[in-house]
Structure 1
Amino acid sequence: MSRAPYWLASPGVVAALALVALPLAMTFALSFQPFSSAGGVGLGFTVENYIQVATDDYYLTIFLRTFKLALLVTAVAVLIGVPEAYVLSRLSPGMRALSLVIVLGPLLISVVVRTLGWSILFGNSGIINNVLLALGLVSTPVRLMFSFTGMAIALVHVLVPFMVLSVWASLQKLDPATEQAAESLGAGPLTIMTRIVLPQVLPGVLSGGLIVFALAASAFATPAIIGGRRLKVVPTTIYDEFLSNLNWPLGAALSLILLVIVLTVSLGANKYLERRFSQVFQ
C-alpha cells in the first residue's frame, strides 16, 4: 500500500494538532485549575469553575442571551438567505454574477469595519434615527446601539452570506427538469417549492443554519461594539475573564462550556431536522 496519501495529509494533520487540538487540550486542563489572585492560575485540581458557572444567575443569563441571539440570527438568516439564493439561481448569467458580487462582497471587508459602520447608522444621531425623525415616524431616537435588536441586525448582515453560499451550493445540484415536470402535471408554485425544491436544498439549509448558529454564538467583535460593556454575551465575558479579571481558569471553563453547548445543539438539531423532513417529504 502506498504511503504517499499519508505523507501528503501529514502537514494538515500536524497543523490541526498544533493549532486546534493542542490549544483545546490546554484550555481543558486550565479550566480545572483554581484561580489565584497572585498569579491568576493556582495549583491543584478543582471543578469550582464549572460549579460557579452552573449556579450563578449572572452567567446563566449571559448564556441564555447568547443562544437566544444565535437562534434569532439563524432564523432570520434562513428567511433571508434561502429565497435570496433561489432568486440568484434563476437570474441570467450576467445579473447573477453582479448579484453575487453584491451579496458576497461584504465578506471581503473586515467584520470590525462593517460593525463600526452599523454603529454609525445606529447612533441616536445616526442616519436611521435622523430619517425616522425627519419622516415623523418617531418622536425620540430609537435605541439601537447597546441593544439586543442592534446586535441581531448587525450579526444578520455579517452572517447571511454564509447561508446564501450554503444554499447556493445545493441549488447547483438541483435539476430544473424536476420543477418543469411538476409544473406540467399541474403543481402550483407553493407545491413546487415545498415538495420539489426544499427537499433537495435542505442539506444546504441545514449546513448554512449550523454555520450561522455557531458563528453567531461565538461572535465577539459585533456584540462587543454594538452591545457594549453592559449587554454581554459569552465571548465578551470570556474576554473579560481572561484580560480584565485575569481569571484564566474561569475563562477557560466558559470557553469549554460554550464549545460543548454549540456542538451539542448543532449535532442534535441536524439529526432532528433531517429525521423530521425525511418523514414529511417521504
Structure 2
Amino acid sequence: MGRLLGRSASSWLSLIAVPTLIFGLLYAVPIGNLVNLSFTPGDGAAATGSAYTLSTYVDLLSDEFVREVFLRTIRISLITTIAAAIVGYPISVYILSVVGWRQTAMFILLLLPLMTSVTVTTYGWLILLGHGGAVNNLLMNLGLIDAPLRIIKTEWAIVVGLVYTLSAFMVISIAASLQSIDQNHVRAARSLGASPAKAFWRIVFPQSLPGLRTGCLLVFSLSMSSYATPIILGGQTNKFASLLVYQQAINLLNWPKAASLAVLLLLTTTGCLVLASGFSRVWASARRLNATDVPIGSSGPAQASSVVS
C-alpha cells in the first residue's frame, strides 16, 4: 500500500513538474526581470547603479497625469465589462436556444473579431463612427440629429471597439455555464406555475453566475491591457496605461520607468480582479443564505417548488 501511494505521489509530481517549469520560464522569469528592472535607478535604457530604489515608483504615484491615465483605464475597462455582459448574456441565451446552421452562423459571427487583426477591426469602427461614417449618416437620415456627432476620439468610441472585440470571451463563458444547467429544473418550475421570468431569475440566472463572473474577469483584464483600440479610437486625449508603457520603452527608451508602469498596471489589474472576485463570492453567499426555503440536496422538483412559493 505504501509503495502504491509512493508511486502515485511520484507520478503526480512528475506530471506537475513539466507545466510548472513551462510556467516559470514563460511567465515568472520575465515578470521577475520586469520587477527587478523597475527598481533599478536610471532614466534610460541602461541602469546607472547597482542599488535598488523606489524613486521611480514615488515619482509615478505622485504624478497627477499618471493617476488620471490609470483611473481612466480602470473606468473604461469597467464600462466595457458591464456593456459586454449586457450584450453577451442575451446572445448566449439565443445561441443555446437555436440549433443547426443558425447556431453555427452565430458562432462564426461571434468568433470573427478574434480571427481578424484587432487593428483592422478597429480601423473599421473608425470608418463607421467617423464624421461622415455610417452611424452619423443613419442618425441624420432618421432625423435624430441635425449635424454629425463627434464620436471618434471619445471614451465611448473606445468602449464600442473593446466591446466588439472582447464580447466573444463573455459569450463563450456564459454559454458554458448555461449549457451545464439541468433544464428539468426549469420545466418543473414552469409546470408548477412559475412564470418564464421568475423561473429564469430563480433557477437559470443563479446557476449561470460562475460563467458570468469568468467572462467579466476575462473582459476586464483584457481591456486593462489593450493598446490598439484605445489609441486608434480614443486618440492622444484618451490615453490608456498601456500607451504610457509603450512611450517610455520605445519612444523615450526609459526602460526602468516603463517597467515600473507595467508593474503598476499589473498590480492595478490584479487588485481590481481580487476585489471583484471577493465581492462576487460575498454576494453569492448572501444569495445562498437568503434561499433558506430550498433544503440542501433537494431534488429538481423540490427546488422548482420553492420558485413558485
Same fold (TM over 0.5): yes
Gaps of 5+ in 2: 1-6, 292-309
- The TM-score with structure 1 as length reference comes to 0.93
Question: Using the alignment, how far apart are the partners of 1:275 and 1:89 within structure 2?
Answer: 29
- Larger deviation, residues 2-11 vs 53-62: 2-11
CA deviations 1:101-136 (Å, max 9, x no partner) are 222222211212111111111221222223333433
- Match in the other structure for 2:138: 131
**Cα distance, 1:5 vs structure 2:** 5.0
Q: Residues 147 and 226 of structure 1 are in contact (CA less than 8 Å); yes or no, is this contact kept in structure 2? A: yes
Does residue 1:214 correspond to 2:252, yes or no?
no
Question: Using the alignment, how far apart are the partners of 2:52 and 2:190 within structure 1?
Answer: 66
Gaps of 5+ in 1: none
Question: Using the alignment, how far apart are the partners of 1:98 and 1:121 within structure 2?
Answer: 23
- Match in the other structure for 1:278: 285
Question: Using the alignment, how far apart are the partners of 1:264 and 1:138 within structure 2?
Answer: 42
- Match in the other structure for 2:36: 29
How do residues 31-50 of structure 1 correspond to structure 2 at under 5 angstroms? 31-37=38-44, 39-43=45-49, 44-50=51-57
- Match in the other structure for 1:63: 70
| Runs of 4 or more consecutive aligned structure 1 residues displaced over 4 Å after TM superposition | 2-11
Task: Report SS of the residue matched to 1:237.
Answer: helix
- Match in the other structure for 2:208: 201
Q: Residues 166 and 205 of structure 1 are in contact (CA less than 8 Å); yes or no, is this contact kept in structure 2? A: yes
Q: What percent identity do the matched residue pairs reach?
A: 33
Task: Report SS of the residue matched to 2:146.
Answer: coil
2:254 is aligned, of 236, 240, 247, to 247
**Cα distance, 1:61 vs structure 2:** 0.5
Task: Report SS of the residue matched to 1:42.
Answer: coil
- Match in the other structure for 1:265: 272
Letter in 2 for 1:55: S
**Cα distance, 1:4 vs structure 2:** 4.9
Question: Using the alignment, how far apart are the partners of 2:169 and 2:57 within structure 1?
Answer: 33
Letter in 1 for 2:227: F
- The TM-score with structure 2 as length reference comes to 0.85
Q: Aligned Cα RMSD in Å? A: 1.8
- Match in the other structure for 2:161: 154
Task: Report SS of the residue matched to 2:143.
Answer: coil
1:103 is aligned, of 103, 110, 117, to 110
Does residue 1:185 correspond to 2:192, yes or no?
yes
Q: Residues 31 and 249 of structure 1 are in contact (CA less than 8 Å); yes or no, is this contact kept in structure 2? A: yes
CA deviations 1:199-235 (Å, max 9, x no partner) are 1111000011010110111111111211122310101
Q: Residues 43 and 257 of structure 2 are in contact (CA less than 8 Å); yes or no, is this contact kept in structure 1? A: no
Letter in 2 for 1:42: T
Question: Using the alignment, how far apart are the partners of 1:254 and 1:56 within structure 2?
Answer: 12
Question: Using the alignment, how far apart are the partners of 2:46 and 2:132 within structure 1?
Answer: 42
Q: Residues 82 and 167 of structure 1 are in contact (CA less than 8 Å); yes or no, is this contact kept in structure 2? A: yes
**Cα distance, 1:19 vs structure 2:** 1.8
- Match in the other structure for 2:81: 74
